[in-house]
Amino acid sequence: MIRHHISDKLLMAYSAGTLPEAFNLVVATHISLCDECRARLAGFETVGGAVLDRHVAPAAMSPDALQSTLRKIKAQGSSDDSGHRQGTPKEARDPVLPAPLLPYTGGKLDGVRWRNIGGGVRQAILPTSRHASARLLHIPAGTAVPDHGHRGLELTLVLQGAFVDETDRFARGDIEIADQDMEHTPVAEAGVDCICLAATDAPLKFRALLPRLAQPFFRI
């Protein structure tokens, strides 16, 4: 059961399209796992649609706009002989990675290119726009991430296992929202390695010297 959700502020920004790509990715991935946040998002989008209807003047369309749109929909929905939509991976699911992550990872967890960053922790930086960064983190069971603070906003979504810190416990589907006021030491629970999707818009603030020295090389 998901206990930690996206804030209204982030959901409204996601609905309005004002978040950086990295944050959009985290929100979309959480929404794919969370019925509650998906329903709340639908409410925000309904309100946004009503505002547009009231305040935006209609735009003229070309006479063949409907036919052109239907042709494009038909072309995108065509299937090959095996019944799979053309251009859609046949392996559309991964037990750990939700659908929004698949285009960023080669379609499956086994395709992720991990890089060791110390203490057994591995990361894979995902290709997003420069305004914020997104990465997958693989934290061995029982391992602690160095204690740190934040210069900006950090969203951390659990995909496998769980971690605990000074605030609470976070398991699959839970998202932790950290800002400049938070300092914590996340520790992966024993039993199952913890895999998280994290997005930041500023470098972290580490207390210990070694993480600070390594920070420029690992872009954290």
Amino acid, res. 134 = A
pLDDT score recorded for residue 48:
53
Taking the C-alpha atoms of residue 128 and residue 103, their distance in angstroms, rounded to an integer, is 11
Amino acid, res. 179 = D
Tell whether the torsion through CA atoms of 164, 167, 170 and 175 is positive or negative. negative
Give me the domains of the chain, ranges plus CATH numbers: 1-85+96-220 (2.60.120.10)
pLDDT score recorded for residue 219:
65
Q: Taking a C-beta distance cutoff of 8 angstroms, is the pair 154, 165 a contact?
A: no
Beta-carbon-side half-sphere exposure of residue 27 (alpha carbons within 13 Å): 24
Taking the C-alpha atoms of residue 34 and residue 5, their distance in angstroms, rounded to an integer, is 8
> What is this structure's pTM?
0.77
Instruction: Show the low-confidence residues of the chain (pLDDT under 70).
Output: 47-57, 77-92, 205-220
Residue 214, classified by CB atoms within 10 Å of its CB into exposed (0-12), middle (13-18) or buried (19+), is middle
